[in-house]
Amino acid sequence: MTTSGSTTNDPAGPGPAERLARTLVLARRGKTFVLGAVLVFVLGLALAVAVTLRVRRSYLSECTFAVRAAEAPGDHDSADSSSKRAARLKDMVHERARLEAAIRKFNLYPSVVEGQGILDAVEIMRPHVGLRARESGRYVVSFDTTEIDGVDTRDLVRQVTQHLAESIAEDYLGGSMNELRTSTTFLLKEVASANDQIDDHIKKVTVFLAAHPEFAIDLAATGGSVGLTGLGIKSAKAVDSSAVAMKQTDPVLAALWRQRARLEADLRAPPVFAAPGSLPRDQAVAQLDAATKAYAEAQADLVTKSGKLTAEHPDLQSARAAVALASKQLQEARARLAFIDGKGDGKGDGKGEKGAAAPDDAQAAKLRQVIAQIAAREAQLAKVGAKPAASAEPAPVDLAASPQVTLEADWARLLRGLAQLALKAAEAAKADLVSIVEPAYRPTRPMKGRRAMTAVLGGASALAFALLYVLLRVMVDDRVHDAGDLEGLVPVVGTVVGPPAEVPARAQAIAALARTSGARPGAIVVDRTQVEDEPFPGWPIRVLPALATPQSKAILAVIGDDPKTVSSLRVFRHRLELLHAEGMRTFAITSARDGEGKSTVAAQLALVLSESQRARVALVEGNLQRPRLAQLLGFSVPAGAGLSAQIMSTMRGDVTPWCLMAVGPSIHVLAESSNEPGHPRALHSAFFQDVLALLAQVYDYVIIDGPSVLGGGDANALETAVDGLLVVAREGASRKSDLRLALKQLGTRKVIGVVMVETTASDA
């Protein structure tokens, strides 16, 4: 039958207070593993110190530079420009040439450069160089590196970071400007060379035309409106082609044409002195005052702007040009007033103008005379019918192919190129300005590998591992420490408190009484007059008195009525009395393995059940392979009175009463003798079950000290002969895994529950 249901704990389960109490119990249980936890902590701390001393610290330095954008007022793509600028700067900071130059300059990664090459060193350095954008056009260049053989690298980090920032700023500004300067210098050299060639050709042409003025007319005639404008010679009016042919075929007409050309050249020459036009003196004085005032204002504006602007600023250059123009106008006004004052004083008689005009009138009259002669000659030739030969007609002159025109075209092209360069220079003046606002700093604490932090983290980790060690040991501890460890496995029907350190006074008094009666010290005195040879008339049972002298403190604690021990056993007894009321009489005390205190619990339980003769108890030795009851209670079993010997005698056909030893007024023991060979196989015979059935009929309780479950099948043979099984678990010694295996082997049909035994119990 199943009896565990009557002893099951409250199905409602533990409440919050019980759970908290259970948690505290488990926490206190960790004290058992303090030594191991201390060892783990010390090892972890030593490891943390070793790691701290070997850690390589990394230092980081940063340098901030500002990019001041010069954008037109109408620009609306500032965000796009900023993103492009950031991308360009990021590409610049990771350029292989820049990093390679830094590696060579500061001797970075020497082992990598020597063993693998500069390219591998660049690849190693690239992830340690960074650039990030800040607000308002500021950018931060950073570089970090680790210690090399324990050498401090903080100064090196600062120098490398400053070098990278300066090189980026220089390249950002100078990249396009250097290109522009090179192009400008080249084109200026070409312009200077072309100017020299043009000046040389102008001199040659001027000398030639001065000697042969008639060629100026020929060139003008062939070109029409085309002329050497660059040389200052105006084109003459186009003439009839027939007249040109007559001039080339008739010598007289050709001479007249050459004379006409010389006269026209003389008339076109500028006068030796051209006097200024006649102005009233008041107006000249007003112009002088205005020029003086304008010059003073221009000078003041130049002084103001010189204190605020740089020499290359366009506003300052414009102020200088205004001063130069005002100075020129002031000089002209002074010269004009001086001329008027000199003429008014009679110093100029006006002969100069008349003297200069007279030659001009004579030359003009002579020119008109020559023109009339040319017209008369052409009319005469036309009347005669002279026609120029076709072969004599001059070939048209290609002015576009002349060296002068080619030089003028080159001059114009160079001027256009110079204008384009000036435009590019103006655009470059509007370019972004780069300046370093925060130089690279010397780091005071490492970015990575902080030894103090590493030591603290190492100590904390060691402590955490020590606590984790304790927690894991508590969690994986398979030993049974209290009833809480068996929740969900099997109900706990009782707990036996361990014996006190000293023998109770009552036990000492009993020992003194034994000494006065001639018994051995510490003996349980049994009055022979109260022991009947046949206490159960009509039943084959015979009882012999025994002089028991127990040495176990656990037995003496029960005899001496120790409060804690006896109280716990009385609670256990009450549970068995409830089961007895249900008709259960025979109980086997077993355990998962040997040495867990089942024999002591069986003897203590029998003594408590027989307390004050409230019940008749038979204590039977059921562990025939390792009998302990006679030794535990301190008495000797007469020859042939052992359990296995009596079973073997019955098996041989001897009909004798079963002999039990009386160790108390109402407690009789059927023990196994340790002085003669036993017969363990007798436990599996039917006679063993018969004797248990016989005892159950005449005794109130039959307590069997059974064998351990694991390692044999004796406990299973005992299970079939009893009403219930009690499994003993010793606190701190029994294992839950063993209990599971034992319960699995026995089954739950007759298992009542577990009896906990405190670790202070001295006997097993």
Report in angstroms the alpha-carbon separations of 183 from 114, 552, 602, 629, 639: 41, 115, 115, 119, 132
Highest mean pLDDT among 212-221, 317-326, 348-357, 518-527: 317-326
Provide the token pair at 113: 């450069």
SS3 of residue 660 by DSSP: strand
Tell me if the pTM is above 0.85: no
Please report the domains of the chain, with CATH numbers, ordered by start residue: 483-757 (3.40.50.300)
Per-residue pLDDT tens for 658-679? 999 998 888 999 998 877 777 8
Mean pLDDT value of segment 274-303: 79
pLDDT at position 72: 47
Mean pLDDT value of segment 519-527: 44
564 DSSP assignment: H
* Chain-centroid distance, C-alpha 25: 42
- What DSSP string runs through 177-244? HHHHHHHHHHHHHHHHHHHHHHHHHHHHHHHHHHH-THHHHHHHHHHTT---GGGTPPPPPP--HHHH
Q: Which residues contact 516 (CB under 8 A, 6 or more apart)?
A: none
* Chain-centroid distance, C-alpha 177: 41
70 DSSP assignment: -
Asked if pLDDT for residue 187 goes beyond 80, the answer is no
Mean pLDDT value of segment 594-603: 90
Mean pLDDT value of segment 257-285: 66
The CB-based long-range contact list for 229-237 (8 Å cut-off, 24+ gap) reads 229/408, 230/198, 230/202, 230/404, 230/407, 230/408, 230/411, 231/202, 231/205, 231/206, 231/404, 233/209
Asked if pLDDT for residue 626 goes beyond 60, the answer is yes
Per-residue pLDDT tens for 531-544? 566 778 888 888 88
Q: Which amino acid is at 250?
A: D
Q: Which residues contact 17 (CB under 8 A, 6 or more apart)?
A: none
Determine which of 393-397, 493-497, 573-577 has the lowest per-residue pLDDT on average.
393-397
Report the mean per-residue pLDDT for the chain.
76
**H helices present in 637-735, as ranges:** 643-651, 686-698, 714-719
SS3 of residue 494 by DSSP: strand
Per-residue pLDDT tens for 383-412? 776 444 443 444 444 444 455 556 656 666
373 DSSP assignment: H
Whether the Cβ atoms of residue 750 and residue 715 lie closer than 8 Å to each other: no
Per-residue pLDDT tens for 201-238? 766 666 665 555 555 544 434 443 333 333 333 434 44
Dihedral over alpha carbons 394, 396, 400, 405 (to 10 degrees): 30
Which is more confident, 48 or 238? 48
Percentage of the residues of the chain whose pLDDT score is greater than 90? 18
pLDDT band, residue 525 (cuts 50/70/90) = very low
